[in-house]
Structure 1
C-alpha cells in the first residue's frame, strides 16, 4: 500500500501499468487533439502509434485512451518521444487495446490525478518503458492523496498484472510548492505526521508474467521520491531486477530477503553504482531451489565480505557476487571470500563469468606509508599468511 516518508523514502508503493487507447473505426489519429501522432506497422511491435511532442506542444494521454477504446479487435503499441514537450499521464494509465507503452524524455503532469479512481479497464499491458522522465507533482495533490490513502483501490495500487517487462529508467520527481506551502512544511514537519496515517493492508499484487524490471538511474533529484512497485508484491516469474545507479546507501528491506517467496525465479539482481558499504542481502539457503546466479555490486563502497556470507555462498555453490571496482582490502577478513572466488573461477565454464571474477581486485598496502596497490584477488597471496 502507499506509504509516505520524508527524503528518499517518500515511497508511493504502486506499480506500473497501462497506457494508451486508440480508435480504430477510422484508424487515423491525425485529427483533433492527436495531430502529433501517426499510425504505422512495425515488425516487432505490430500496430504502432508514434507521437512526437516537440517544445511548446502538449499531449493528453486521456485523448489516446478515448481513441483506443474504439479499436475493435486490434491491439496497439504506443511510443511517445518528447523534445521539450509536455504530456498529461495520469496513473495508472490503463487503456483498452494497448499492450505496450514507451515514453521517452518527457515532462509528465497529472500523475496522481486518478489515484483514487477505481479502474474498470482490464489489464492488457505487457511492456512499459518510461525513460528520462520528469514527473511534476503539486504539493497539494500529494497531501490530498496522503489523506485519502485508504481510498486507493487495489486495481490502481497494483496496476497492470499482465506486464512482462517494466523499465523505469532515469525517473526524476519535481515536487512543486508555493512559498507558503514550503514555509508550512518547514514549520509543521509534514513528514513527521505522514507516518502516523493508518494504512489498510491489501492482498499482495502478484505479477505472474513479469520477467524483467529495470528501475535504474532514478537519482534523488529532490526532497521526495516515488517508488512505483508495491512493497507487498510478489514476482513468481521475475528473472532480472536492476536497481543500479540510484544513489542508495542501503538496500531497501523489500530486496534483502532473496531466500523468500517474493523472487523464487530471480537469476540476476543488480545494485551496482550505488553507495553501499556492506553486503546487506540475506541469501537463499537451499541449493536445490536457488535460481540466483549473480548479485551485481560493482562500483559501490564495500571493503569486505563477511565470513558468514561467504559460508552461505559456499553452501549454495553457484552464486557470483560481482564486487569489481570496490575498495576491497587485502587481508585476512577477505581470505574466505578470495578462496570462494578462486573455486568459482575454476568451476564455471561461462567465459563472461570467469572474466568477472578475474577482474575483481583488492587494495594492498598502507595508507600511512602512502603505498597502495590494486592487485587481482585471484593472484593475491595474503590468505596463505592468514592460515599460519
Structure 2
C-alpha cells in the first residue's frame, strides 16, 4: 500500500516537475525560433511590467519584450514579425526598435500584428507607410496596440506610392480600420519630431536631409534648458516653423494626416506637381493649371471619405517638436476624431504664436484633459476660456504649461482673470516679463498676506518670477522690487497702446475739424469777396460819380463865365 502510494506520489512529482520545466522553457523556446534575419539584431526577454511604464492596467498573460538595434546594412520589416506571431498564442509582445545612422525599416501603417501591444521606434527612416492601404487583413486583425511611440524619425514615401495613395478609387476603398488605425485600444501615443517626405532620390540624399532635420531639432533641444533666469528667450529662429519644411504626422486619422501634409510640405507639393500634372475633371476653372485642378480634386476626394475615429482609451497624446505645425492642425484634428478620455497633451516646441481656439474650448473637445504642455512656443498672450456658468462643479482641472514663451505683460487684473477660471491653472514662469509701472498694482497686492489665498493660492509662484526688462531690474524677483510710479498704468503697454489709439483718434478728429474749419473759412471769404465786389465797389463808384459831377459843373461855369466876359 505504501509502495503504491509512493508510486502515485512519484508520478505526481514527475508531472509537476515536467510542468515546471515546460513553463520555464517557454521563453527559451520562443527565443530560439525568432526570425533568422533578426538573430543578430534583436534579443528577447520576458518583462510583464514593461506596459506598466505607460498604461495603468496590466494584462493577465505574459508580455515579452523584443528589442532590436538596426544598422544601415540590416534588413528589418514589420511583416516578418506579423508572420512570426501568427503561430503563437498565450503571450503578448512589446517591440522596441532603435536605428543607427538613419537605418531604414519597413513599417506599414497601422502596424497591426497578432499580440503586438507596444511599439517604440526611434531614429529610423520609415518606409512602406501606405503598403497596407488595401490589405483586407487590416480589418480582420483586431486592434491590440496600446502603446505607440515614434521619435526622431522620417516617414519616407516615393512618388509612385504617393501617386497610388491619392487615386480616387483607392481613397474611396480605404477602410475605417486603416484610416483610424488602432483607435479603440491606443492609450499612449507619441509622435515627436516625426516628419513626412516624398522622394525619388537616393538614400544618401535622404540621409543628408534627415541629418539636417536632426541637427535643427538638436540645436533647439540644446536651448531648452538655458532659460532658467530668462537670460535666453525662445525666438522665431528657435523653431523650424516656416512653410518650407516637412510636416508632422497628425494623431488623427490617416486621411487627415495626408490632408494636412498636402498643405504644409514642400516635398509633397513637388510630388503633386509630378503626379497630378495632367488634365482632370471638365469642371475645373479654365484659368487653373492642371496641377491646381488636380490638387483641388484630390482635396474633394479626401473630404468625401467620412470616417470618424474614436480614441476611446487614449490618455496621453504627444506631438511635440514638429518641423512644421499646420495652422489647421487642431481644427482638422477635432473634426474627424473624438478623445473622451484624453488626459495629457504635449505640443511644446511647435512654434505656436497663440493658444489655438480648439484648446481654449477643451471642455468641448477634450472633456477630461488635465495637463496641456504649450511650453517653448511663441505665445504672447494668455487668453483663457470664460468661467463655466453651469452650477455643476467641474470634475477635471486643467494645468496649462506656458513656460518659455514670449509673454511679457502681466498685471493685477490679468492675474485675477486667471484665478476667476477656477478649473484652470497656468504656469508662466521663465517668460520675458517686463516689470514696468503697469505691474505696480500687482506688486502692491502681492505684499499683502491675504492676497495669495483661495483661488489665488496656486499663483504664489509669481513671487519668484524674475524680471527680464527694464535693464535696471533684469534678474530681480517680483517679490523684491518696488516701483515708484505716478500712475500704476503710466508705462504699461496697454496704456501706451491706449494713448497711441487716443492720439490717433484725436489727430483724426483734429484733421476733420481743421478741414471743416478751412472749408468754412474759404466759403466765408469767397462770399465776402463777392459781396465786396458787388456792393461795396458799386457804392464806391456812385460816391465818386457824385463827387466828380459838381466839380465838372463848376469848371464849366467858370469857362462859360470867362467866355461871356470875353465877348463882352
TM-score (norm 2): 0.53
Partner of 1:69: 86
Partner of 2:129: 111
Partner of 2:197: 174
Query: Which residue among 415, 429, 440 is the counterpart of 1:324?
Result: 429
Q: Give the direction of change, closer, same or farther, for the CA distance of 1:183–1:219 in structure 2 (3 Å limit).
A: closer
Query: How far does the alpha carbon of each residue in 1:193-233 deviate from its partner, in whole angstroms, 9 at most, with x for none?
Result: 354546136464222222222222232399xx999967532
Q: What is the deviation of 1:289?
A: 1.5
Partner of 1:44: 49
**2:339 corresponds to 1:235:** yes
Q: What is the deviation of 1:42?
A: 2.2
- Whether the aligned pair in 2 keeps the contact of 1:115 and 1:152 (CA below 8 Å) is yes
Q: Is the partner of 1:208 in helix, strand or coil?
A: coil
Q: How many residues align?
A: 357
Query: How far does the alpha carbon of each residue in 1:284-334 deviate from its partner, in whole angstroms, 9 at most, with x for none?
Result: 625822523311111122334699975653333253211222233335766
Partner of 1:94: 112
Q: What is the deviation of 1:65?
A: 1.2
Q: What is the deviation of 1:363?
A: 4.1
Q: Give the direction of change, closer, same or farther, for the CA distance of 1:102–1:294 in structure 2 (3 Å limit).
A: same
Q: What is the deviation of 1:162?
A: 0.9
Structure 1 gap segments, 5+ residues each: 1-22
Q: Which has the higher contact order (CA 8 A, sep 6+)?
A: 1
Query: How far does the alpha carbon of each residue in 1:11-54 deviate from its partner, in whole angstroms, 9 at most, with x for none?
Result: xxxxxxxxxxxx99955443443333332112523311222212
Partner of 1:7: none
Query: Which residue among 348, 358, 363 is the counterpart of 1:259?
Result: 363
Q: Is the partner of 2:303 in helix, strand or coil?
A: coil
Query: Which residue among 477, 488, 499 is the counterpart of 1:376?
Result: 477
Name the structure with the higher strand share: 1
Q: Give the direction of change, closer, same or farther, for the CA distance of 1:102–1:200 in structure 2 (3 Å limit).
A: same
Q: Give the direction of change, closer, same or farther, for the CA distance of 1:378–1:174 in structure 2 (3 Å limit).
A: farther
Name the structure with the higher helix share: 2
**2:322 corresponds to 1:299:** no
Q: What is the deviation of 1:90?
A: 0.7
RMSD over aligned Cα, in angstroms?
Answer: 4.3
State how 1:187-198 maps to structure 2 within 5 Å: 188=291, 193=296, 195-197=299-301
Query: Which residue among 57, 64, 69 is the counterpart of 2:74?
Result: 57
Q: Is the partner of 1:119 in helix, strand or coil?
A: helix
Q: Is the partner of 2:474 in helix, strand or coil?
A: strand
Q: What is the deviation of 1:169?
A: 2.0
Query: How far does the alpha carbon of each residue in 1:77-128 deviate from its partner, in whole angstroms, 9 at most, with x for none?
Result: 1111211321100111111111111112211111122235453211111111
Partner of 1:16: none
Q: What is the deviation of 1:151?
A: 3.7
Distance, in Å, in 2 between the alignment partners of 1:168 and 1:127 is 11
Distance, in Å, in 2 between the alignment partners of 1:228 and 1:168 is 17
TM-score (norm 1): 0.74
